Amino acid sequence: MPYRTGKETLLSRLGIEEMNPASALGDGSWRAGVGGFASIDPALGEPLAMVQRALPDDLEVLIANASRSFRHWREVPAPVRGLLVRDLADALRRQKDDLGTLIALETGKIKAEADGEVQEMIDIADFAVGLSRRLEGSVLASERRQHRMIEQWHPLGPVAVITAFNFPAAVWAWNAMIAAVCGNPVIWKPSPKAPLTAIAVQRIVDEVAAQHAATGIFSLILSDEHWPVQQLATDGRVPLVSFTGSSAVGRLIAPLVAARFGRCLLECSGNNALIVDASADLDIALPAIVFGAVGTAGQRCTTTRRLIVHRQRWDETIERLIQAYRQLRIGDPLDPQTLLGPLIDEEARRAFVAAVGETQESGGKLLHGGAVLGGHGFYVQPTLMQSENTWPVVQRETFAPLLHAMPCRDIDEAIQLNNAVPQGLSSALFTLDLRHAERFLAAAGSDCGIANVNLGTSGAEVGGAFGGEKETGGGREAGSDSWKAYMRRQTSTTNWGNKLPLAQGINFSAPSTKTPAEP
């Protein structure tokens, strides 16, 4: 593949060398580990580089360092903390092309999407810089005279950020940029399927943090084993664990964190539906369906996995969608002409094959695709199947470009189908009917954390809170007031008078012992 020339030069520019150390202490220094695990190029199925495996002692050092750093960082004024994030955004701008290329190499997402991921890091950093000057509290009305009651927010402490391979840098940034301006150090445990991206980001962070004397604010632990996640989940020095991944793993992590009364921010599986209403404009719906279903090879948490189409629009929608699928160029994610890259690994490809087979065994009709592609890498065809919402294979999230299509009678049935899965992340409705749009957005409409009208299930902006309900986990990251997850709330009341009135009018004064005056 000609677009893969210069790999060693790229890694060198990003500060990555063979047999990288296993953990970064956040001050520019790194600790060596043991053994090694490979970062695999999914377009070729070959190793990009070997990465050393951290030891439990490494994580102990990181947590201890983060705890010490917190005592200093929480006292730094929030606007000053924002200056660090501002400079980090500028560093990412300078490295955008190289970092985007590395993300494409390591994850298989096409270069345009990989560059977009770096831009998302920059966008959330810019958001966090603005936030650093407006972290707010509330002035509350006191029922007592000469009392002032306020609600304020304080830094929480070291935050563990556990990320998945599909957005190996952006999800860290959603958490880390906001957590840092809120006054918290961040310990990052990336997916073992994308360790080089994490190393490259950490190298950039180290350089910027050194300029701000921000030792220990951002640190990194690398391993392909399970113990780091368990150790972070059970360590009382880590008040918040932010996990992005499958609902199955989230279900294991949450009780461990809860057992020590810690907080968990979960961003888990999505099983997102896009509804094509009777009045839908297919000229904008079709591109949204295609990008939502095949973007990142179907490996986004917001991937469109279910297509619910009004019966009146079924034939036209399916016909045009199949035509679009036939035109998709599959290949090297670094080739500018490519629209669909590979799956992350052979395990993902086997899961795709199993899901297609299970759908057919359940009675599903294969409308397009369904096959794996030969040659190097983990490529599959974009696949469209006519399915039923109740089938177990449709109720699960399959991380692949597999779209289950199903007809509906009306908007009410469409909303019922949208909601009738265990997950609740993203949803979309294409309609020109105002009443249907409002019904979809109402309390009895979509039960997802994200509900879009006339745009797809993917492509959320950083200004809004990102997350979902039910088995998606209930967490919220990025914009709006998601920053509150990284802080602790404190209600404070000051009495500036010379009396001590109690709330609710309670009089707790001792009875008088004075002798009544003589008449």
Element (H, E) at 493: strand 487-495
- d(CA 14, CA 12) in angstroms, rounded, equals 5
Q: Which amino acid is residue 392, in one-letter code?
A: P
Q: Give dist(CA 422, CA 426) in Å, integer.
A: 12
In angstroms, the CA 243 to CA 500 distance is 46
Cα 313 to Cα 44, 209, 219, 235, 318, distances in angstroms: 40, 55, 52, 54, 9
CB contact at 8 A, 308 and 414: yes
Q: What is the DSSP annotation of 375-387?
A: SSS--B--EEEE-
What is the rounded CA–CA span in Å between residue 125 and residue 173?
7
Strands 426-430 and 272-276 come out as: parallel
Which H or E element spans position 200?
Answer: helix 195-211
314-328 as b/e: b if 16+ CB within 10 A: beebbebbeebbeee
The residues carrying an active-site annotation are 267, 301
Cβ neighbour number for residue 363 with a 10 Å cutoff: 10
CA 4 – CA 376 distance, rounded (Å): 14
State the DSSP H helix or E strand holding residue 208, giving kind and residue range, or none if neither: helix 195-211
CB-based contacts of 192: which residues, under 8 Å, 6+ apart? Answer: 37, 222, 223, 224
